[in-house]
């Protein structure tokens, strides 16, 4: 089975590396020419930044066998159509990515979104029928140390969840292959056969909590949690998001989420700046519109107050639109 990773920056490279490490046949497509060239010539340097006994250490290997391209047209000319295409762009770029990726997409190609945030399934369904779509997300810190070198910081416990919007033979075959390769490659991944949306919401809540609050406060996850006002922001986001998720049909208990899911993040990657902080460091647009912004949008539709998500979304938008003016 041939996979394409469309969008092979930090997250795409890490997600692809676990697959390749587990034996998957996978091509990479990304406009970052220097990164693609380095991988094609020297392989992907893949580092797992692992915490054991309270301390971090790196496990690094070089993965061979990737074929890399800077456009879907170039990939199609060399590879033809793929069996499954995994989208790992920013959520705000997904619609354009789907349109641009069509040269490698055949009539039977299964479309996969492992992108953070809410609404990615809606965007897939604008172009693909429900019987060709898989959605999911990963609970992994990701970074690029430079061209051809990606870094994974696992959060402990389950690291990835995915499943078909509906089940059929074709979608099940792709899910089975993904689960097999991810697990063989060192990623604790699970094919959720029944209720993938529970796990999508959980990842959205994690990101809407640690990404957004750390971005605004310019602190690591553990540093926010250690301050009473920071912890209150974390907990307020969780409570608002769980209320919205429950109203939309995915029942989540905020107290249980704080005690287990949130605590796992604090315990395992407390000494970590999440990806939205990396956006701030590099003066990039964030995914706020598909995280807290989308929770607030759903809240308004449902009549559920989301004051913390409203304010955080407004602050993040103001910051990201004014990077070059800030002291």
C-alpha to C-alpha distance for 136 and 171, rounded to whole angstroms: 13
* Alpha-carbon span 314 to 125, nearest angstrom: 29
Report the pLDDT value the prediction gives residue 140, as an integer from 0 to 100. Answer: 81
The superfamily in CATH containing domain 2-194 is NAD(P)-binding Rossmann-like Domain (3.40.50.720)
Span 163-178, pLDDT tens digits:
999 999 999 999 999 9
User: Given pLDDT bands bounded at 50, 70 and 90, which one contains residue 139?
Assistant: confident
Domain ranges of the chain: 2-194, 197-322
Supply the pLDDT for residue 269: 81
Which residue from 120, 175, 101, 141 is spatially nearest to 274, judged by alpha carbons? 141
pLDDT in tens, 50-77: 777 667 788 999 999 999 999 999 999 9
Q: H or E element: which one contains 84?
A: strand 82-87
Give me the long-range contacts of 276-283 (CB less than 8 A, separation at least 24).
Answer: 276/207, 276/211, 276/212, 276/214, 276/215, 276/316, 277/211, 277/214, 277/215, 277/218, 278/10, 278/143, 279/215, 279/320, 280/215, 280/218, 280/319, 280/320, 280/323, 283/323, 283/324
CATH number for the domain whose boundaries are 197-322: 1.10.1040.10
pLDDT level of residue 155 (50, 70, 90 thresholds): low
What pLDDT is stored for residue 53 in this prediction?
A: 67
Mean pLDDT calculated for residue range 306-311: 98
Please say if the pLDDT value at position 292 is more than 80: yes
- pLDDT at residue 240 in the model: 98
């Amino acid at each position: 089975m041939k996979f394409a990773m469309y969008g092979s920056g930090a997250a795409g490279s890490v997600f692809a590396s676990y697959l390749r490490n587990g034996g998957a046949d996978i091509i990479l497509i990304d406009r970052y020419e220097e990164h693609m060239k380095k991988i094609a010539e020297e392989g992907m340097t893949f580092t797992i930044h692992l915490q054991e006994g309270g301390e971090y250490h790196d496990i690094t290997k070089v993965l061979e066998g990737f074929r890399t391209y800077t456009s879907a047209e170039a990939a199609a000319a060399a590879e033809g159509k793929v069996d499954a295409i995994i989208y790992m762009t920013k959520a705000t770029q997904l619609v354009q990515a789907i349109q641009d990726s069509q040269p490698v997409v055949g009539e039977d190609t299964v479309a996969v979104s492992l992108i953070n945030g809410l609404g990615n399934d809606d965007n897939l369904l604008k172009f693909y029928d429900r019987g060709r779509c898989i959605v999911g997300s990963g609970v992994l810190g990701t970074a690029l140390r430079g061209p051809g070198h990606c870094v994974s910081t696992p959060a402990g416990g389950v690291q990835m969840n995915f499943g078909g919007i509906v089940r059929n033979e074709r979608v099940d075959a792709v899910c089975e292959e993904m689960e097999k390769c991810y697990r063989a490659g060192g990623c604790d991944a699970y094919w959720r056969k029944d209720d993938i949306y529970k796990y999508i919401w959980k990842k959205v809540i994690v990101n809407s909590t640690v990404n957004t609050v750390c971005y605004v406060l310019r602190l690591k996850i553990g540093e926010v949690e250690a301050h009473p006002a920071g912890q209150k922001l974390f907990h307020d986001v969780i409570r608002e998001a769980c209320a919205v998720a429950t109203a939309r049909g995915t029942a989540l208990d905020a107290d249980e989420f704080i005690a287990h899911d949130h605590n796992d993040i604090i315990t395992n990657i407390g000494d970590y700046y999440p990806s939205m902080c990396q956006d701030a460091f590099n003066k990039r647009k964030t995914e706020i519109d598909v995280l807290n912004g989308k929770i607030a949008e759903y809240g308004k539709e449902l009549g559920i107050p989301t004051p913390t998500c409203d304010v955080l979304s407004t602050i993040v938008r103001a910051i990201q639109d004014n990077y070059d003016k800030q002291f």
